[in-house]
Structure 1
Amino acid sequence: HASFSYDEVLNKTFKLVLNTDYYVYNKETGIWKDMRDDQSFMKKLVNDSLDLKIVGILRPNPEASAASIHGEVGYTSSLTEYIINKINNSDITKAQLADKETNVFTNMPFDMNGYMKNITMKEINDFVKTLSEEEQQQFKMLSSTMTEEEIISIFGEQIRTAGGKEATYEDNIAQLGIVNLDQPSTINLYPINFEAKDAIAKIIEDYNTTQKDAGHEEMTINYTDFVGLMMSSITTIIDMISYVLIGFVAISLVVSSIMIGIITYISVLERTKEIGILRSIGASKRNISSIFNAETLIIGFTSGMLGIIISLLLLIPINAIIASLSGISKIAVLPWGYAIVLVVISMILTLIAGLIPSKKAAKKDPVTALRTE
């Protein structure tokens, strides 16, 4: 592949040749002939065509973390309108639009099935005369060994599927590049931000709902929110990852709660004599239970705070790595509101885990507890 510097590309000129410029009308045959094989015609056509010049080059900002430029060639709106109007006002376009039943490239009807039933060899020979000498020779060689019926059959099939498929009026319109500005096939909208995108989508949805309620299904707008689709895919992936992480966290919470319950129960066993002393000096069962509940709450609060502090410390290198890779800073954050909620959840879970051991401690008989070594 050849490479060019920006200075070499800038101000480089090209020739604009329209689809309709390739065809010349033959009055004798009534056919618009493709002249792309005629070198002298093409040379003159290119020389007389409009000059296009590259006046600028768009490049992504070096500081941008992402860019949507993929090497497209952009044109001004005035050039686009010029091309559309030039094509729409060409003679071949006017001829095709004026007669939607006849193919301007063959001067035959698009519906060849009915036409071929009545075609004669004279009409076939007249058509062959419009071809190049090489094509005429090929036709003579092929037809020399066939009957008229075979020639008509093969000729009809060739004409019907010229260009590899059956010719239609719509195909010719597309081939010539004819466009109706009053009937656009697509409209691209570029919102300035996500809020504007959502507002546009809501307007379209409201319009479609109104049309459906009025019974005008054909008036609804079909649109594709490419950014929404992309974000939806990303959100789905993130949700899947989140569900997996939540599962691991849930398992960890269950295991940790069980461990806290076991530790509290062991603490009750080791402090049986202390429980007996407290009961003997007047502590109620509720007081004993409250002591162990308070301990589990303190454990939950301490562990929750440690988790928050460690998370905040880990966010520093995580954000630094993400910023160096993507250019997006402070993407990983821990809101203080969520941090408080997490600490509260930690305290509640530890309290629940210690309820059974604390109840067991409260039910111990003081006399039996004092005898325990």
Structure 2
Amino acid sequence: MLELKHIRKTYRVGDIETKALDDISVAFRQKEFVAILGTSGSGKTTCLNIIGGLDRYDSGELVIKGKKTSDFKERDWDAYRNNSVGFVFQSYNLIMHLSIVENVELGMTLSGVSSEEKRKRALQVLEQVGLKDHLHKKPNQLSGGQMQRVAIARALANDPEILLCDEPTGALDTATSLQIMDLIQSVAKDRLVIMVTHNPEIAEKYADRIIRFQDGKIISDSHPHQERPKPDMFTLKKTSMSFFTALKLSFNNIKTKKGRTFLTSFASSIGIIGIAVILSLSTGFRTQIDQFQQDAMAEFPIFISQKAAEVDMDTMMEQSKKMQDQVKGAGEYSDSKEVYLYDPSESQIMHQNVFTDEYMDYLNGIDPEICSGIGYTRIVNMNLLRQVDGDVVPVTLSDSASGSGSESAMGSMHLSSYPKELKEDGGSYLQKNYDLLEGSYPESPTDMVLVVDANNEVKVDVFKNLGIDVEGRESIPFSEIVGLEMKLIPNDDYYVKTEFGTFLPGTDYAAMYDSADAVTVRIAGVVRQKEDLGYGLLGAGLAYSDELSQMIIDTAMDSEIVKAQKDSDKNVMTMEDLDEETKSSFLSYLGGNATPYMVMVYPNNFSDKDAVTDYLDAYNEGKDADDQIIYTDLAATMSTMTGGIMDGITIVLVAFAAISLVVSLIMICIITYTSVLERTKEIGILRALGARKKDITRVFDAETCILGIFSGVLGVVIAWLLNFPINQILYNMTELENVANLQLIHAVLLVAVSTVLTMLGGHIPARMASKRDAVEALRSE
């Protein structure tokens, strides 16, 4: 029961001020056909005012099923319009981009009716109004009478208690009007129908009750009703619109404007295209750099030296900037006549790595699945003799003109000893990284190889120090080198103790050579770095295994010279005073110290470096700084530097490209506002059907969501297609293949960014749409 009662003062209905007599009550029975006859649009205003919310009276009150509307909240009015009131408009007010079935289903959608039930009831009411044969059509394919039937079916679909008809025959011819009125009269058998009309003949013929208005005043009521107070029996099912429904509404609307939608999406996608192309190139160049680094540094080990420098990065950057400024001429030059001194040690900290037995055991326990081998550089001298033309002469493995016996690896990135593989079935380091040119790979610790560079070149000093005559020769056949033998002389045979207690190298080389303890070593083969190996750690010259060094140390440990040196603080050969560090180095040279000078850990591949460094870091956990072991991963350092440069370039370029996204944001805001203006009547229809303000916002948010997704996908597809000509141009210029490469994760993220930004740009107009007055929206054309 809808009841207006006890109106004593002026009340406002829309734009009309209505004067009513004291004690007049206007009530509507649950089942009757009431015709409201009026002038000046007062009856029409009354009907529309129910759509907008009947809570705008200056005095009096509206009571619905015992509940005062003064207690209504906005969502209660939305639910009431959806649950209890059906509207039939003079101008039909159908949503043209929906089918007639979808128009009928819309109110039920807001009520949360299931899809199956919704379709069933829509077909029932359409059949009831005689449109069974037109289910597949859109509203603009129907006649005026048929569209009004659709409007009646929509009003009936939610089984409302009240049917409000706003001049339902005003836009129809006489014959069609009679058909529609007969249909409305049949509907009135089981519900209240309130019809606003200016046609008294229709009112007299069909209405059970006629209320007449004139100049905004009730002048008569043919069948007044007195209602007794009733308890509050008011219950409503709250309305809501899912985002999926909003998407469907917006998608159907967008389909009617294909050209504008495409141009809008294309304009919005320009920023996405720019960023996608930049990311494609950045990813491609990074991949090329990473691949080059992996190829070049795949066998690059992690170095662990007894002395590790921890450089202060701030100081290093400051010094680097000074050098760059001076090169560019931008630095400040001193006018002083003095030389200023500085200590480079102040800008770095020298850390002493202590290779304990515990640490060496820890290293040897590394997982072979992540580490292919471990190499050692030892400062141990080899007492080598060779027989040349019947004479025995001392020789060295050095590549320097001085022929020093100390390992050149101490000051060079190239090493002379190769690592031992941790996996027995994985092949040796030499076999995996070096091609055999002549002879064979080493089969025992006493076998050496001659390493040549890409041009088969080796320093001439290598052969001079081996006692090979190179005078006037430009090359030496491999056959002359392979099989060359030398003898390794133990310390006790090589060094002679003098009467002064010092030790000197002996001179009876023949006796040393014939000693039973002498060990024969030979050059087993000639090898060269494989073409696909980016960087070879073994320098051109002679290379041997660490097992040979260890064999020398095991023999030298019990030699007299080593024992004497351990007990003395002086050099047992020169009698010079030694500090602890120098003594340790000299003992290592004599073979009396098994601790390696440097350890090289070889990851299985470039990607396993992180696992290896994690293993090395785990040893340092919980230890004091002095007890920690610091390592140097040059490959990672170089990768970080190049990666940082690429990241910086990418960020700058993306920032420039992102400017177009801001422009797109503004454009979407304008486009959405235009759509709001175009769909004003649709807003009113949705509100009349019980849609909440947030549902209206959701409809336009859904529209911008669709535009955002479409523009993002369009931008990504165009950027992907641009990769092909870009790659061809880059290949012609640099011979780099497939540089531009758009990653799937980047594509997905860009579509997401496009969607979010577009929805942000359209949300303000969407909020404006939700605040539109329903009555004013329905009046718009």
Q: TM-score if structure 2 supplies the norm length?
A: 0.31
Separation in 2 of the partners of 1:106 and 1:83?
23
Q: Which amino acid aligns with 1:253?
A: L
* Distance change >3 Å, CA 45–CA 360, structure 1 → 2: farther
**SS of 1:306 mapped into structure 2:** helix
**Alignment deviations for residues 184-240 of structure 1 (CA, whole Å, 9 cap, x no partner):** 444322232467544444444444335x3xxx7765444344444444444444443
Paired residues of 2:705 and 2:755 also in contact (CA < 8 A): yes
Task: Name the residue aligned to 1:138.
Answer: none
Cα separation, partners in 2 of 1:250 and 1:68, compared to 1, 3 Å: farther
Q: 3-state SS of the aligned residue for 1:187?
A: strand
Q: Is the 8 A contact 2:488 2:521 kept in 1?
A: no
Q: Does 1:301 align with 2:709?
A: yes
Residue 313 in structure 1 maps to residue 721 in structure 2: yes
For 2:585, the equivalent position in structure 1 comes to 174
Structure 2 unaligned residues grouped into runs of 5+: 1-458, 461-473
Deviations 1:35-64 (A, max 9, x none): 8xxxxx59879988966425130322x3x3
Match of 1:188 among 584, 600, 613: 600
From 62, 80, 83, give the equivalent of 2:552.
83
Q: Distance in 1 between matches of 2:583 and 2:489?
A: 14
Report the AA paired with residue 53 of structure 1: I
Q: Greater share of helix residues, 1 or 2?
A: 1
The 5 Å alignment of 1:45-194 reads 52-53=522-523, 55-60=525-530, 62=531, 64=532, 66-69=534-537, 71-72=539-540, 73-85=542-554, 87-88=556-557, 90-97=559-566, 99-107=567-575, 110=577, 167-168=578-579, 170-171=581-582, 174-175=585-586, 177-180=589-592, 182-193=594-605
SS in 1 for 2:534: coil
CA distance in 2, matches of 1:319, 1:46: 68
Distance 2:512 2:525 in 1: 21
Residues 553, 594 of structure 2: 8 Å contact kept: no
- Residue 763 of structure 2 aligns to a residue whose secondary structure is helix
Q: Measured at CA, do residues 248 and 188 of structure 1 come closer, stay the same or move farther in structure 2, by a change above 3 Å?
A: same
Q: Choose between structure 1 and 2 for higher RCO, CA contacts under 8 A separated by at least 6 residues.
A: 2
- Asked if the contact 1:19–1:175 (Cα under 8 Å) also holds between the matched residues in 2, the reply is no
- Which residue, out of 608, 624, 631, partners 1:223? 631
Partner amino acid, structure 2, of 1:192:
N
Q: Which residue of 2 aligns with 1:134?
A: none
Q: Which residue of 2 aligns with 1:156?
A: none
Q: Secondary structure of 1:56's match?
A: strand
| Matched-pair contact (CA < 8 Å) for 1:275–1:369 | no
Q: Does 1:334 align with 2:334?
A: no
Could you report, residue by residue, the CA deviation over 1:137-180 in whole angstroms, capped at 9, with x for unpaired residues?
A: xxxxxxxxxxxxxxxxxxxxxxxxxxxxxx54643553461345
Alignment check: 8 A CA contact 2:497 2:504 kept: yes
Residue 102 of structure 1 aligns to which amino acid in structure 2? K
Alpha-carbon displacement from aligned partner over 1:67-90 (angstroms, at most 9, x marks no partner): 444635420234223433455455
**Would the aligned equivalents of 1:260 and 1:350 in 2 still touch at CA under 8 Å?**
yes
Go from structure 1 to structure 2 and tell me whether the alpha carbon gap of 1:180 and 1:44 turns closer, same or farther (over 3 Å shift). Answer: closer
Q: Distance in 2 between matches of 1:331 and 1:276?
A: 46
Is contact 2:487–2:513 with CA below 8 Å preserved after alignment? no
Matched, 1:208 2:679: no
Confirm whether residue 357 of structure 1 aligns to residue 765 of structure 2: yes
One-letter amino acid of the structure 1 residue matched with residue 546 of structure 2: S
Q: What percentage of aligned pairs have identical amino acids? A: 29
Structure 2: which amino acid aligns with 1:79? Answer: L
Moved more, 86-95 or 43-52: 43-52
Across the two proteins, how many residue pairs are aligned to each other? 293
Structure (1 or 2) with the greater strand fraction: 2
Q: Is the 8 A contact 2:708 2:759 kept in 1?
A: yes
- 2 CA distance for matches of 1:87 and 1:180? 6
> Does the CA contact (< 8 Å) of 1:65 and 1:328 recur in 2?
no
Distance 1:255 1:170 in 2: 68
How far has the Cα of 1:353 moved from its partner? 0.8
The 1:107–1:279 alpha-carbon spacing in structure 2 relative to 1, beyond 3 Å, is: closer
Pairwise CA RMSD of aligned residues? 4.9
With normalisation by structure 1, the TM-score equals 0.57
Name the CA distance, whole Å, in 1 between partners of 2:738 and 2:681. Answer: 59
Q: Is the 8 A contact 1:276 1:368 kept in 2?
A: no
Q: Which amino acid aligns with 1:57?
A: V
Deviation at 1:264, TM superposition (A): 4.2
Distance of 1:331 and 1:8 partners within structure 2:
50
Q: 1:168 to 1:352 in 2, by over 3 A?
A: closer
